[in-house]
């Protein structure tokens, strides 16, 4: 709701009056003249009515997770044991004694997040990472009622989760149209940053369809989003939810002016599948796409504008191979939709129902060709990672490291909870002693389980200081210190 207030006054011929008045009186007259500033000509938004109407449908989410003791394995070598003794820290697989006798109860990790009510019978939407690994989820309403929630389904790739609480007659949010959202438009977030419930922050839309490497394009805003805001709604000025607050860009863990939200239309599509079947079914072509450079496009006769997804590899027996797609093809359209970059192909294919027969336009040896593809299904986490190339393909960084994922079956075989595999090591990484085949378990004391987590942790590291990595080689674990420098 926008309000305006006019402070303008009319003063007839002020210059005539000034000539007849003393200098002191002149000052008073000029002071009384209207000053029309930009702020007075425009108007500022009033969020009060919006918060009153929508606030009751926003909830606080608290989670608890029992800390499982680590199993005995070769990951704890003599060096780590010595470090723990020196600093008085118990080993991860040790239990402290209870002064009253016996052992203490297993410690618990606690988390806090936000969510919003989709339906009056207690369906709540939040982020998947808010409830990931939780043994208990508690939902608190603005009227202080608290409910134990059941996780209906959670999809890590889109970071969307649906919860259910046993209640009726609850206030609900209104779903907005993301297509109408404009860059520069005012938006509002309600959530529980750092555990402070029902906190309201506001800002503007900074960009739409921002590509961060995730499966879904995100809405970028400058709304203050902090830990605990995750899962809360992003609202437009009509009080409609246009996004789910999901990520922040930060080097300190706090708000730095860049926040990202999942578009609500994509989130609702995922939520509907979670509610109906408990999981999300995604189409899969079985190929590895890459972006096409301008030089490559010109060289193959596609024109000076680089568009399309270059096929780097086709999996044997996949839907793409059965359709006749080959390595080196450039896919320019998928089911009539233009493909500008590799991420477009991955997203559109994933959003298509498995088993669908779609027409794919590709550019091969100077000519366009249409092929028909019957999509397969992403049916496990390993396949999802292969389709999401940025997460699975080795990625070079300033340390001279390229790393790749470790499959879940390999982790079980090696008795690993976390880790990424070193594909190649050069420059600072090589000088520190890292080599291909090493398994990096943690960076600066933070476990890393995926390439994405590894890269995120490196981004947080102080580039002026030595970076510590816990590394497993064969059956031995050691700490490697990598000093950033020239490659």
129 given a catalytic annotation: yes
Assess contact for 234 and 181: CB atoms under 8 A. no
Q: Write the DSSP symbol of residue 446.
A: E
Pairing of strands 467-473, 330-334: unpaired
- CB neighbourhood size of 382 (10 A): 13
Torsion sign, CA atoms 126, 131, 135, 138 = negative
d(CA 254, CA 163): 27
Instruction: Report the chain's terminal Cα–Cα distance, integer Å.
Output: 56
- CB neighbourhood size of 214 (10 A): 21
Assess contact for 209 and 190: CB atoms under 8 A. no
User: Backbone dihedral region of 398: left (phi > 0), alpha (psi from -120 to 50 degrees) or beta?
Assistant: alpha
159 given a catalytic annotation: yes
Alpha-carbon distances, residue 272 vs 123, 126, 439 (angstroms): 11, 13, 39
Q: Name the token pair of 95.
A: 């239990």
Catalytic residue selected from 230, 259, 318, 395 = 230
Secondary structure of residue 373 in the 3-state scheme:
strand
Assess contact for 9 and 150: CB atoms under 8 A. no
H or E segment at 269?
A: helix 264-277
Alpha-carbon distances, residue 124 vs 57, 142, 198, 324 (angstroms): 9, 14, 16, 44
d(CA 356, CA 367): 26
Q: Name the token pair of 43.
A: 């108007």
Alpha-carbon distances, residue 299 vs 302, 307, 326, 330 (angstroms): 8, 13, 18, 13
Assess contact for 134 and 65: CB atoms under 8 A. yes
Assess contact for 123 and 275: CB atoms under 8 A. yes
Catalytic residue selected from 129, 211, 250, 335 = 129
Q: Please list, in sequence order, all residues whose beta carbon lies within 8 angstroms of the beta carbon of residue 465, skipping any fewer than 6 positions away.
A: none
Catalytic residue selected from 159, 329, 344, 387 = 159
Active site residues: 129, 159, 230
């Amino acid at each position: 709701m926008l309000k305006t207030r006019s402070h303008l006054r009319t003063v007839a011929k002020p210059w005539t009056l000034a000539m007849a008045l003393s200098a002191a009186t002149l000052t008073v007259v000029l002071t009384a003249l209207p000053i029309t500033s930009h702020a007075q000509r425009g108007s500022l938004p009033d969020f009060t009515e919006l918060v009153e109407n929508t606030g009751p449908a926003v909830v606080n989410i608290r989670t608890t997770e029992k800390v499982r003791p680590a199993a005995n394995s070769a990951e704890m070598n003599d060096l780590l044991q010595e470090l723990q003794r020196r600093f008085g820290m118990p080993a991860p697989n040790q239990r402290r004694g209870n002064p009253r006798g016996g052992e203490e109860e297993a410690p618990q990790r606690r988390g806090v997040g936000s969510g919003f009510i989709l339906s009056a019978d207690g369906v709540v939407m939040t982020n998947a990472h808010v409830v990931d690994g939780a043994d208990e989820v508690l939902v608190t309403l603005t009227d202080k009622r608290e409910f134990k929630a059941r996780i209906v389904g959670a999809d890590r790739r889109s970071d969307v989760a649906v919860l259910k609480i046993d209640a009726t007659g609850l206030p609900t949010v209104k779903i907005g149209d993301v297509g109408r959202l404009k860059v520069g438009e005012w938006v509002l977030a309600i959530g529980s940053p750092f555990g402070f419930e029902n906190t309201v922050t506001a800002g503007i839309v900074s960009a739409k369809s921002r590509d961060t490497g995730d499966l879904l394009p995100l809405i970028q805003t400058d709304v203050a989003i902090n830990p605990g805001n995750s899962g809360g709604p992003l609202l437009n000025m009509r009080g409609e939810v246009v996004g789910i607050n999901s990520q922040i860009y930060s080097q300190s863990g706090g708000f730095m002016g860049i926040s990202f939200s999942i578009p609500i239309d994509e989130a609702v599509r995922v939520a509907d599948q979670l509610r109906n079947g408990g999981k999300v079914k995604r189409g899969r072509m079985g190929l590895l796409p890459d972006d096409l450079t301008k030089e490559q496009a010109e060289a193959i006769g596609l024109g000076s504008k680089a568009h399309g997804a270059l096929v780097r590899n086709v999996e044997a027996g996949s839907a793409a191979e059965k359709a006749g797609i080959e390595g080196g093809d450039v896919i320019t359209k998928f089911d009539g939709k233009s493909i500008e970059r590799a991420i477009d192909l991955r997203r559109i294919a994933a959003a298509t129902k498995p088993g669908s027969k779609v027409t794919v336009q590709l550019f091969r040896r100077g000519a366009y060709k249409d092929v028909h593809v019957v999509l397969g299904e992403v049916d496990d986490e390993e396949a999802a990672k292969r389709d999401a190339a940025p997460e699975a393909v080795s990625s070079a960084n300033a340390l001279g490291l390229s790393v790749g994922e470790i499959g879940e079956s390999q982790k079980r075989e090696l008795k690993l909870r976390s880790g990424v595999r070193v594909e190649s090591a050069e420059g600072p990484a090589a000088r520190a002693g890292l080599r291909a085949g090493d398994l990096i378990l943690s960076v600066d004391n933070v476990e890393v389980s995926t390439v994405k987590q590894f890269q995120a942790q490196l981004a947080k590291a102080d580039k002026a200081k030595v970076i510590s990595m816990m590394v497993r080689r064969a059956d031995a674990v050691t700490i490697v210190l990598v000093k950033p420098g020239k490659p």
